[in-house]
Every structure is written in C-alpha cells, then in structure tokens.
A = this chain, B = another copy of it.
Amino acid sequence: MLIVQKFGGTSVGNLDRIANVAKRVSESKKAGNDVVVVVSAMSGETNKLVGYAEHFSSNPSKAEMDMLLSSGERVTASLLSIALNEMGHSSVAMTGRKAGIITDTSHTKARIKKINPELMNSEIKDGKIIVVAGFQGVNSQGDITTLGRGGSDLSAVAIAGAIGADLCEIYTDVSGIYTTDPRIEPKAKKLNNISYDEMLELASLGAKVLQNRSVEMAKKLNVNLVTRTSFSYEEGTLITKEENIMEAPLVSGIALDKNQARISLMGVKDKPGIASDIFNKLAKAEVNIDVIIQNTAHDGTTNIDFTVPVSDLSEAKLVVDLFVENGDIKDDSYNEKICKVSVVGVGMKSHAGVAARAFSTMAEENININMISTSEIKVSMVIDEKYAELAVRSLHNAYELDK
C-alpha cells in the first residue's frame, strides 16, 4: 500500500516521541508499504514563535509570519528523516516547496491550489521514505506560505490525493472518533468507520482530531482518512465515502456544540426583502449563521430567531443594532446560555422515526426544545445549556450507541 502518515505536534512533542514516530514509520515501511510522512512542529514550538512575534508587534507582517512559523515543521521533518536514515532506511526530508505544494497568496491562511507530485513520485519509486514539513507551501511568486490552523492535516490529505495514496493516517493523541464525547458519556464507543458527511456534521466530536477543512478536502479528493493515536497500536476510525461502509448504523453519533448563542429579533417589519437584507448584512460582517426559525406574530410583524457562534456575537449585535435604530426591528434579545445537540447518521436517510425518537427522548427528560433544524443525515436541537450533558446521555442511550 501507499500510505501517507501525518503526525501532529504532541506525537512529535519531544525527541523520544520523534524516535517513537520513526519506529512506527519504519514498521510500516518494513511491512511492505510505501510511506510518505507529514509532520507538524514539535508541540509548543509554533506558540513559542507566535509569542516571539507578538513581542514585537500586535499585528506582525504576514509574509514574515509565514517565514517564521514554517521553520518549526522543517525542524521536525529534518530530525525524523535523520532518525529514519540512521535506522537503515533511505529517507529524504522535504519542505513544502520541495514537495510541490503550491498555494494562493494569502499569507498565514493560504489555500492549496495544486500539488506537483513528480519529485515525490520519483522518490517513492526509488524506495525512499519521504518526510514532508506540513503546514506550508509556496505561492506563485515562490514565497513561503502557511495554511492556517490544521494546516498539516491539509498537507497530508492533499498529498495523499496527489500521489493517489491508498490511505491517509492522521496520528494524534486521540485514538479515533467516538459516538459522543467520552467525558460526557463514559459509555461512548469508538467508531470503526464513518462517512465524510457524518464526520462533517459531527465536527464537534472530531474537533480535537480533525478540522472540517481536512474532511472536506478528503471527501473532494476521495482520500481514505484514518484518525488514530501514535501512543498505542489501537486501531483508529476510518473516514471514507458512504459507499465504502457496509451496514451503516442508523445513528453514528451525538454531537454537542456549546459554543452557540441565540439571537431573537422581535417585531421585524413585514416588508419584502427585510430578512434577506438582515442576513446579507450579517454575511458581509462574516457572521456565521447556523439554525434559523421565523414565525409571524399576531400584529403582522415577524419574529426571527437564529444562532451564531459565541465568537461572532458582538459583530452580529452591531449589525442588528442598525436595523433596530432605523425601526425595522422593534426589539432584540440575546442568549448565550444555549447549546445545540445533534443526532447524526447516514442511516436515517432510509429510516423514518429517527427525529421522532429524538424529540420524545427530550420530552421524557422534560427538556424543552427551543429550535429544531434537520438535514438528510442530522437532527439538531437547540436547548438550554444546563441540559446539555443530560440530553447527550439520554440520546446516546435512546439510539443504543453503547451497544
């Protein structure tokens, strides 16, 4: 098999751990696989460098930040390659440039435009292990760029796509994707596999492991993604396309998002285009809207409720204030003490009654549902934050996810 293995910051957090990674890579190679490794900076390094930069400027120049931050991954890649060569393998370390990773010109949050895999392919053909510094590429002017948060995962997935790898393993300190957060429900079970779409909906369950950007890219490039831990030989979770999963369960997991706030707009003037106007202005202010509900009051005005990430709340308020000032909205209120609980599963596409069971579970626990939104593979409910853990445990039990 041709495998891309990505090791995150904690997996390469010190010299002993890098030695452990070398051992794992060596084992994969000896088992007959071709291996391309992608590494992050040693944990703490990137934060240290960011701290250095902030010593000099609260808004450091971005091209310089990219030159600065890209150094951490280079150190890890060089060291791992040295270790592999010492073990008798033929290994070569590559920067993002060398690996052919071409990005756009947005410094510190560049997007990968394409990968030129010729050099990697020829080194693989020569039997070499390739160790790529993650998180970085070069733009069309040849300047170093970095890919932003989760960038090394993106490097790994994009490389796996470009070289046609059979598997892209993402190693972290977490052993895989669970049916729900084990800190809330200790009976949570690790999933053997899950579809891209489920994973995207379960983002909160994979938040510590995988960013949605990486899952989206894996889906687009049809890369089989495995999340597993470098601290044991435990099997991880395969994230793949739905067709690859035999007998998908009805429900795969229960996600919880406490990072939401509810905005209520009361007495919104009943004139054409008003809702569109509000949400367009919110979009321009880069406020992410999640659940929206709307209903008409007795006086002919409308009430609109929606949720936004807590971090976008103050920005959203500024936009809403404008409409309140000019009288288009009579009153507004805000509630940060809410959360969103989601039941996710591709199985619900073909089975009725999944949503109904969620609602009745909430009813049995006397939990009031404030807002509901559904998609083909998801039922989300906005409830009081204080019921968050109870809701998760009840739903986990109702769908028998511990079985």
Using a CB–CB cutoff of 8 Å, the interface residues on chain A facing chain B are 15, 18-19, 22, 49, 52-53, 55-57, 60-61, 63-65, 67-68, 70-72, 74-75, 77-79, 81-83, 85-86, 91-93, 95, 97-98, 142-144
Contacts and interface: CB of A to CB of B under 8 A. Distances in A.
B15 A86 contact: no
Contacts of A74: 67-68, 70-71
Q: Please state the number of chain copies in the assembly.
A: 2
Contacts of A91: 61
A53 B79 contact: yes
Nearest to A74: B71
Nearest to A19: B56
A71 B92 CA distance: 17
A65 B144 CA distance: 20
Nearest to A133: B67
Contact of A78 (B65, B77, B86): B65
B75 A71 contact: yes
Contacts of A60: 82, 85-86
A19 B56 CA distance: 8
Of A19, A68, A74, A82, most buried by chain B (CB within 10 Å of CB) is A82
B61 A68 contact: no
A42 B61 CA distance: 20
A75 B85 CA distance: 27
Where chain A touches its partner, the secondary structure class is: helix
Given A75-B49, A79-B52, A86 B57 contact: yes
Given A57-B85, A64-B93, 19 more contacts: A15-B52, A15-B55, A49-B75, A52-B79, A56-B79, A57-B82, A57-B83, A57-B86, A60-B85, A60-B86, A63-B92, A65-B78, A67-B77, A68-B74, A68-B75, A68-B78, A68-B82, A70-B74, A95-B144
A35 to B, nearest CB: 17
Contacts of A65: 78, 82
Most chain B beta-carbon neighbours within 10 Å: one of A18, A74, A91: A74
A81 B55 contact: no
A15 B75 CA distance: 21
Contacts of A70: 74
Given A15-B55, A19-B56, A95 B82 contact: no
B75 A61 contact: no
Contacts of A63: 92-93
Contacts of A53: 78-79, 82
A53 B75 CA distance: 10
Contacts of A72: 71
A67 B56 contact: no
Residue of A60, A61, A72, A142 ringed by the most chain B CB atoms within 10 A: A61
Nearest to A60: B82
Contacts of A18: 56
18 contacts: A15-B55, A18-B56, A19-B55, A52-B75, A57-B85, A60-B82, A60-B85, A61-B85, A61-B91, A64-B82, A67-B74, A67-B78, A68-B79, A71-B71, A71-B74, A71-B75, A97-B142, A98-B143
A22 B53 CA distance: 13
A53 B22 CA distance: 13
Nearest to A78: B68
Contacts of A82: 53, 56-57, 60-61, 64-65, 68
A140 to B, nearest CB: 14
Contacts of A78: 53, 64-65, 67-68
Contacts of A144: 95
